[in-house]
Structure 1
Amino acid sequence: MEIKVKDFIDDIVDGKFINSEMQVAIEDLDSALKQVISDFQLSVSQNKLSKQTLFVQGFNEEIQFSLESGIINLPFANISKVDNFFENPDDNAPVNLYLITQADDLNASKFRIDEVCSIDDLINHPAKTASMVSEMVHKNIEDIQKNIEMKTENKN
């Protein structure tokens, strides 16, 4: 899947993308992830940009995981900066799946964005992509847990 840089920016600014949010308990994370990945895949298979967000509750802090279709590793929230990375706004750019994680104890910036794969790979290999996203989400949770433990140890 490709899109003109200008069209991508205009679509995000104008809100022309599929957007959903779900709150989920940490115990239900895996089933919610499957649903979010499936919804995301359905959106992009119809050539629509998408943002699917999970707000995970019941952990030491709220964790936000978002799947976004993008042309560069910047979240939709930073759309005003996207054109700085492209010479010609009429050029086509491949669309990729990005996993965005936000949590107070994730890292110093409380933010992480990872390229998972191209949208074409997601469409052609949905099970493999779902597994990759799940592994990345669980790795980020492990990192948060380690950071919380280190912070607690440093207080003692």
Structure 2
Amino acid sequence: MKMDVDEFIEQVTNEQYAATNFTMNRKALEADLQKALTPLVQFITEQINADQIAQARLIVDDADTVFKLETGVINLPFDNIKATSKIMAGDGVKPINVYMIVESPDVNRSKLRIDEAAAADDFVKQTPAMTTRFVEWTQDQLNKIDANFTAGEEEAAETK
């Protein structure tokens, strides 16, 4: 899947992309990551097959955390479309990739982590492997969030 960068920017700016949201608490997420994340992967796969850019979000409502899969021309979330425009406007047709994103106050200093899952076409061809990759990546991010939260708590206790 490929798309003209300016068309991509226009569609994201005008929110003309497919989107879905799922919500659950942290305990339910951790109980079965595969079950929780598979619908996001399926949604993105369906949208790529329909030649549509898309965003799938899993909102962890009791943890101030959001996991996303997004299709894009650059490793920046849809929320940062102005930066994408500054960097890439006028760059012509580019391949679409699928990005795994987490937003959490405890994931890192920027509160954002984004990694490429695969090129959109490869994502579709390897959907079961992409689900596994997203599950493993999500577990890694949850581990980082927990470690950073604990370190922050310990630091706060030391300064009291």
Q: TM-score, normalised by structure 1?
A: 0.91
Secondary structure of 2:3's partner? strand
Moved more, 23-32 or 95-104: 23-32
Q: What is the CA distance between 1:87 and its match in structure 2? A: 6.7
Counterpart of 2:80?
78
What percent identity do the matched residue pairs reach? 25
TM-score for the superposition, normalised by structure 2: 0.89
State the match for 2:125 in structure 1: 124
- 1:103 maps to 104
What corresponds to 1:15 in structure 2?
A: 15
Q: Residues 53-68 of structure 1: matches in 2 within 5 Å?
A: 53-58=57-62, 61-68=63-70
The separation in 1 between residues aligned to 2:51 and 2:85, in whole angstroms, is 21
Q: Distance in 1 between matches of 2:79 and 2:154?
A: 35
One-letter identity of the residue aligned with 1:26: R
User: Deviations for 1:89-133, whole angstroms, at most 9, x for unmatched residues?
Assistant: 4x1101000111111111111111111111011111101111111
CA distance in 1, matches of 2:81, 2:73: 11
* One-letter amino acid of the counterpart of residue 37, structure 1: V
- Aligned match for 2:44, one of 40, 60, 67: 40
- Residue identity matched to 2:57: T
Q: Which moved more, 1:19-28 or 1:9-18?
A: 19-28
SS of 2:110 mapped into structure 1: coil
* Aligned twin of 1:145: 146
The one-character-per-residue Cα deviations of 1:56-114 (angstroms, maximum 9, x if unpaired) are 134xx22101111000011111112223333734x110100011111111111111111
Amino acid at match of 1:4: D
Unpaired runs of 5+ in structure 2? none
